[in-house]
Structure 1
Amino acid sequence: MGARFPFSAVVGHDDLRTALLLNAVHPGIGGVLVRGEKGTAKSTVVRALAALLPALEVVAGCRFGCDPAVAADCPDGPHDGPAERRTARLVELPVGATEDRLIGSLDLERALTEGVRAYQPGLLAAAHRGVLYVDEVNLLHDHLVDLLLDAAAMGRAHVEREGVSVSHAASFLLVGTMNPEEGELRPQLLDRFGLTVAVRASRDVGTRTEVIRRRLAYEADPEGFADRWAAEDAALAARIEDARGRLAAVVLPDAEVRRIAGVCAAFEVDGMRADLVVARTAVAHAAWRGADEVAEQDVEAAVRLALPHRKRRDPFDEPGLEEQQLDDAMRQGAEHAADDPDSDPDSGPDSGTDSGPDDDPDGPDDGGGLPPDASESTSDTSSQQQPGGSSGERTHAPAPSFKARLLQVPGVGEGAPGKRSRARARTGRVVRASTADGSGLHLVGTLGAAAPFQAARGRSGPGLVLRGTDLRLSVREGKESNLVLFVVDASGSMAARQRMSAVSGAVVSLLRDAYQRRDKVGVITFRGTGAETALPPTNSVDAAATRLRQLRTGGRTPLADGLLRARRVLATERVRDPRRRPLLVLLTDGRATATGSGGDPMRDALRAAGLLAADEVAAVVVDCESGHVRLGLAGRVAEALDAVCLRLEELSADQVAGVVRAARAA
């Protein structure tokens, strides 16, 4: 394998490089989340960082990479061996990794052959004092993200499972990259990353030209290209080490503490984690630029990196800071910084980089250092403007939404992990042991199967004598995510009497529910003379919300076309992702006034609904008809679909108790 692309040779991405370098100086900042479109060198920049980290003193042979000076609590200790120097590691966590691979588990080989409880370290141990990189972190299973971020915040990993109780140091620079088009991280997980950076390809022709030149030169001669940038990388590495050394001496004046608190209060961020991250980042920024004291420029640079993902109040809010918002917040912060500290009886002079460990909601800090002189390199991280409506007969903004009741697919599936329908999965509670199917070894079942035959197999020592027929697998039951396909009637009858506004609000509520349950979503609309796929199935539910804002209404009601389009989309998705079960949600008043064949529109619609029912598609029909006189046409469509029919107002969990199980009983 050739040399990695040099960190110094990366063109642009100033914010990303600054965030990574600041975390390299002070790992206690909490890592970096890199958001960006595909093909923007996110992974290239992250992988290049490891070469800049200072070499480590480690205990020779220690599986946890312990520092010889503080190795007293190592599970492999006590250590009396020699120390050795090695480079910091870059450990990559695959999206499909298991919990055992991440945190470690019982060493089954020794347990079953020697009869001892031994711990096999995982990736968290391998990443200690290095970089842990998660590409496509938004696709990582939620329970793994929880474990990962807890360890990153606390600096330790705790394992309590299968008779093993182990705690070991796990201090690392956590970096996650993601493409927002493939789905978002939950807000509470976003908050656990210290800094966030949005990257996009430059639209400047000169910059793009230089990217092409450097990439082609690297591919032609990786070693030679790396050698040409070795001096610049070495200078950056030396600067990181110098900033780490001066970090503890950097003073955080009380005025700047009040400025930080004022800015965070102005953005109305939740909790105190944001204030602490901004403080640590500001100190790191000062250390990187060689200053002895934090100044306003350090706080502003820290705010740009630490607050964009923390100001979101809703899953569909765009991340980022608008310049006017930042200016207003910094102005408020300046007013607080100018306040007389003696006027507050609880305040007092404070210096240093951090609060005490008992006051830190993130857990104990490893006392590391802080990063770069990026006053000029913390460039635009502001979000894009919210998209407006598209041209058409009428554009309806979604009405205020409500808490949607849970819609589920019946039966037990085997789909992608999520939080909607029941499923057999690789995670979740163990329901039984099996010889045929399952995920992971069922230890008790295996030992129970082997135990009666130990005498017959001639066992004489402490270990067990096993045969292949003894092995049992764990059958687990958890929750799966589904493909939720919205089929929305956007005809003129729906647009009348502001009915579409209520429908839009209902769909947004269901989309928010899909976001929380990790579903894949798609949107089909029908109006005028046909149906269109407004949004092909995607994990990005905020993209669905954006398309909904651009929804055009008016014209006749080609209900049959909408259902047939849904059938084609579902058939395609069944081939692409056969394990993900679909849930069709049809929002209509049931009127059918247009047909492609020139026949009876309602008969064609019922025939199309029957085809979906024959495909065993779980469906829910939301009757959007209003007024005192109701024709009940949506109910006829629901009967043909073999689906549950709900009134629009019944989607609110606040008004209707219980859970709706869509389509037929399993």
Structure 2
Amino acid sequence: MPAQYPFSAVLGCDTEHPDGLDDMGLALILTTVAPEIGGVLVRGEKGTAKSTAVRALAAVLPPIDVVAGDRFATDPNDPGAASPDGPFPADAATETRPVRLVELPVGATEDRVLGSLHLERALAHGKVEYEPGLLARAHRGILYVDEVNLLHDHLVDLLLDAAAMGRATVERDGVSVEHAARFVLIGTMNPEEGELRPQLLDRFGLTVEVAAPRDPRLRAEVVRRRIAYDTEPRTFAERYRAADAALTTRIAAARERVGKVRLGEPALLKIAEVCAAFEVDGLRADIVTARAAVAHAAWEGRDEVTRADIRRAAILTLPHRRRRKPFDAPGLDEDLLDQLLGDTEPPPPAQPPQGPEDPTPPDRGDGSDDGAGDGSGHGDGPPGDGPGQDAPGAPAATAPDTDAGHPAVPASAPYRPRLLTVRGLGDGAAGRRSRARAAIGARVGARRADGTSGSLDLVETLRAAAGGGRTARRTAGGRPELRPEDLRHAVREGREANLVMFCVDASGSMAARKRMTQVKTAILSLLLDAYRRRDKVGLVTFRGRQAELVLPPTHSVEIAARRLDELPAGGRTPLAEGLLESARVLRRERLRDPRLRPLLVVVTDGRATGGPDAVARSRQAAEYVAASGVTSVVVDGETGPLRLGLAADLADRLGAEHLPVTEVSAEALAGSVRDRTGGLRGAA
């Protein structure tokens, strides 16, 4: 087995200078010095050594003493420690072993995480035996979740609750087992694959943004080290053995000192002032910042918390907790932080970091507006179309086939939209949108165990062992005989995530400012809903003479919102091209993941002006999409007293639900229903 890549060789965690830690290296160290901080979430683009650094961390942690043969890593030096395998005698044998790094797969089941009862032994021998899960294995170690943003919410909640309480409890069929589960929780994620839910994000003590260095010399050094490691792993690891040993010694010393560090009243008031100024919700930020500041002081060898400790702690604890609008990336105004701390210049730590990466999150955009134009191009078709004039007082088109776009129109504040679902019952990944067979949810039946994962249906298993009413098979001891073919898994109905593909009309007929604001607000509201329901989203737009895949299907709803905000409008309406491009994307995604069911949301007023046969081609395209069986919704962007009803006709040909843009809001729909039922009661 090749040697582990050294922690001190990760560029940014520094090599021979342990003091020169970047934010990622420092956050990982601080949470091991004081595990009560609550773990670390590392956010960053792919290829930035997130997983490499986390996997290397365990090797630099001081080893631990455990009771020999105990499955729960009980500390023999803790008189209050208890284990389901105990009690142990006072002179029980002990052993010293390295700290474990336990990796939690994204697809793990709840039983795999918490542990479960050995039901076959319970049924066959009448003995209840507990099988420890990953939480038990991670006790006094590190629990690492790569792509934590893809982990189901209930598992993330379970992990964070166990990390906060320091214990895990398993309740199965009237039997309760409890064991210690104190571990350092570390999650890594790529924001392009989707964000972690805000309520879960807040539960991580520290959050770090990482990015690849832009300096060519630093990038070359990364490549040089990686090639050296791949060529001679043991020789490469030996070069950094002394630096790793120095880190181990310093971590042990910081752990000894952390309980003696004094958090004075002025420092505590300053922490409260900083948290209040950044408008964080609740008091968890104050508590975590105080703990992180104390851990940083211990790491720096100080006996009292200073403003330098508070500053470094705040940079790690506050960015993901400040109030921000939907889809805003975490960040912190360091200038404001310095003003609050009372210094005109940022207070440097005792030994300034020398890592290559700037702790400030990288700029996520260049601020340019792709939709900027000269304001021309209002027309959407040749003169005589009539309906192309959408807003009173709007200037007439000067060129019937112009493809010039209007400047991008911003959306208003999003609202809670009505729930749009895919027809039928799916088998997709757990989510919160459409009905699906799932691992959790209401029990609707049972099936024979076929080697796949699933929760055991005890009643149906016993019924099968009993022969379905016939004479039950018995063992020599008189107990019911259980065979593998008798095992039954529960069939449950829950909710799945879907692929929500937006096909948006950005032509001139949609370009009136009020109309485009309504449309963008509706789409933004649906995007926010997709974000909460763990959906994948894609965005196709059509205008001028073609359709464009603006955003390939992704879990990053945040990117979709930014693309929507930059969307200009103007030109003809190639409706057929938009529908066909959407169909091509959905067909490709179906090959990649057949279980991910799509929901096509077409946002248009239904006018097709992309050529002489535009209307006929759009009808053929709609019938083609309908034949593929895709569940569709047409959000009708046509407003005003004079309406042609073309979007309703398109919805009919698609076999789709027709939804006026004014009724996307759940409140608006409820008000419409109340008005109609009130009218019926009045008529009665």
Task: Indicate whether the TM-score tops 0.5.
Answer: yes
Aligned residue in 2 for 1:390: 370
- Does the alignment pair 1:633 with 2:666? no
Query: Partners in 1 of 2:204 and 2:146 — Cα distance?
Result: 14
Is the 1:418–1:517 contact (alpha carbons within 8 Å) kept by the matching residues of 2?
yes
* Residue 128 (structure 1) shift: 0.4
Pick from 271, 280, 295: which aligns with 2:282?
271
Aligned residue in 2 for 1:433: 446
Q: 1:121-140 residue pairs with structure 2 within 5 A?
A: 121-140=132-151
The C-alpha deviation readout for 1:104-134, integer Å capped at 9, x for no partner, is: 0111232132112221110000000001111
* Residue 384 (structure 1) shift: 2.3
* Residue 143 (structure 1) shift: 1.2
Is the 1:182–1:538 contact (alpha carbons within 8 Å) kept by the matching residues of 2?
yes
Could you state the TM-score of these two structures normalised by the residue count of structure 2?
0.87
Query: Partners in 2 of 1:562 and 1:330 — Cα distance?
Result: 54
Which SS does the other structure have where 1:48 is aligned? helix
* Residue 658 (structure 1) shift: 10
Aligned residue in 2 for 1:10: 10
Aligned residue in 2 for 1:609: 622
Is the 2:48–2:211 contact (alpha carbons within 8 Å) kept by the matching residues of 1?
yes
Alpha-carbon distance change, 333 to 441 in structure 1, aligned in 2, over 3 angstroms: farther
- Of 462-471 and 92-101, deviating more is 462-471
Which SS does the other structure have where 1:197 is aligned? strand
* Residue 82 (structure 1) shift: 1.4
- Does the alignment pair 1:618 with 2:631? yes
Is the 2:545–2:574 contact (alpha carbons within 8 Å) kept by the matching residues of 1?
yes
Structure 2 residue identity aligned to 1:406 = L
Q: 1:531-550 residue pairs with structure 2 within 5 A?
A: 531-550=547-566
Aligned residue in 2 for 1:444: 459
Query: Partners in 1 of 2:671 and 2:96 — Cα distance?
Result: 61
Aligned residue in 2 for 1:57: 65
The C-alpha deviation readout for 1:344-382, integer Å capped at 9, x for no partner, is: xxxxxxxxxxxxxxxxxxxxxxxxxxxx97753695234
Aligned residue in 2 for 1:287: 298
Could you state the TM-score of these two structures normalised by the residue count of structure 1?
0.90
* Residue 301 (structure 1) shift: 0.1
* Residue 225 (structure 1) shift: 1.1
Q: 1:193-592 residue pairs with structure 2 within 5 A?
A: 193-331=204-342, 376=353, 379-382=358-361, 384=363, 387-392=367-372, 393=405, 394-435=407-448, 439-451=454-466, 457-461=473-477, 463-592=479-608
Alpha-carbon distance change, 53 to 219 in structure 1, aligned in 2, over 3 angstroms: same
Query: Identity over aligned residues, as a percent?
Result: 59
* Residue 426 (structure 1) shift: 2.3
Aligned residue in 2 for 1:362: none
Which SS does the other structure have where 1:534 is aligned? strand
* Residue 451 (structure 1) shift: 3.2
Which SS does the other structure have where 1:554 is aligned? coil
Which ranges of structure 2 fall in alignment gaps of 5 or more residues?
Answer: 14-21, 373-404, 674-684
* Residue 167 (structure 1) shift: 1.4
Query: Partners in 2 of 1:464 and 1:286 — Cα distance?
Result: 63
* Residue 6 (structure 1) shift: 0.7
Which SS does the other structure have where 2:466 is aligned? helix
Is the 2:572–2:609 contact (alpha carbons within 8 Å) kept by the matching residues of 1?
yes
Is the 2:281–2:323 contact (alpha carbons within 8 Å) kept by the matching residues of 1?
no
Query: Partners in 2 of 1:56 and 1:468 — Cα distance?
Result: 41
Aligned residue in 2 for 1:48: 56
Alpha-carbon distance change, 106 to 543 in structure 1, aligned in 2, over 3 angstroms: same
Structure 2 residue identity aligned to 1:160 = E
Query: Partners in 2 of 1:132 and 1:658 — Cα distance?
Result: 49
Is the 1:415–1:581 contact (alpha carbons within 8 Å) kept by the matching residues of 2?
yes
Query: Partners in 2 of 1:163 and 1:85 — Cα distance?
Result: 36
* Residue 11 (structure 1) shift: 1.1
Aligned residue in 1 for 2:198: 187
Query: Partners in 2 of 1:374 and 1:150 — Cα distance?
Result: 36
4+ runs of 1 displaced by more than 4 Å? 331-334, 372-375, 385-388, 452-456
The C-alpha deviation readout for 1:202-254, integer Å capped at 9, x for no partner, is: 01011111111111111111111111111111010000000100111100001
CA RMSD of aligned residues (A): 2.2
Alpha-carbon distance change, 373 to 557 in structure 1, aligned in 2, over 3 angstroms: same
- Does the alignment pair 1:649 with 2:662? yes
Alpha-carbon distance change, 218 to 480 in structure 1, aligned in 2, over 3 angstroms: same
The C-alpha deviation readout for 1:53-81, integer Å capped at 9, x for no partner, is: 11111111111001012454321111122
Query: Partners in 2 of 1:562 and 1:641 — Cα distance?
Result: 13
* Residue 458 (structure 1) shift: 3.9
Structure 2 residue identity aligned to 1:144 = L
Which SS does the other structure have where 1:514 is aligned? helix
- Of 379-388 and 137-146, deviating more is 379-388
* Residue 330 (structure 1) shift: 3.6
Query: Partners in 2 of 1:25 and 1:579 — Cα distance?
Result: 43
Query: Partners in 2 of 1:566 and 1:113 — Cα distance?
Result: 56
Is the 1:95–1:137 contact (alpha carbons within 8 Å) kept by the matching residues of 2?
yes
Query: Partners in 2 of 1:98 and 1:333 — Cα distance?
Result: 52
Query: Partners in 2 of 1:374 and 1:609 — Cα distance?
Result: 65
* Residue 580 (structure 1) shift: 0.8
Is the 2:437–2:493 contact (alpha carbons within 8 Å) kept by the matching residues of 1?
yes
Query: Partners in 2 of 1:279 and 1:192 — Cα distance?
Result: 15
Query: Partners in 2 of 1:520 and 1:220 — Cα distance?
Result: 40
Instruction: Tell me how many residue pairs correspond in the alignment.
Output: 620
* Residue 497 (structure 1) shift: 4.3
Which SS does the other structure have where 1:654 is aligned? helix
Is the 2:466–2:472 contact (alpha carbons within 8 Å) kept by the matching residues of 1?
no
Is the 1:32–1:193 contact (alpha carbons within 8 Å) kept by the matching residues of 2?
yes
Query: Partners in 2 of 1:269 and 1:530 — Cα distance?
Result: 46
Aligned residue in 2 for 1:346: none
Pick from 18, 36, 42: which aligns with 1:34?
42
* Residue 329 (structure 1) shift: 4.3
- Of 491-500 and 198-207, deviating more is 491-500
Which SS does the other structure have where 2:217 is aligned? helix
Query: Partners in 2 of 1:492 and 1:655 — Cα distance?
Result: 27
Which SS does the other structure have where 1:477 is aligned? strand
* Residue 418 (structure 1) shift: 0.4
Is the 1:52–1:236 contact (alpha carbons within 8 Å) kept by the matching residues of 2?
yes
Query: Partners in 1 of 2:645 and 2:562 — Cα distance?
Result: 31
Is the 1:396–1:549 contact (alpha carbons within 8 Å) kept by the matching residues of 2?
yes
* Residue 332 (structure 1) shift: 11
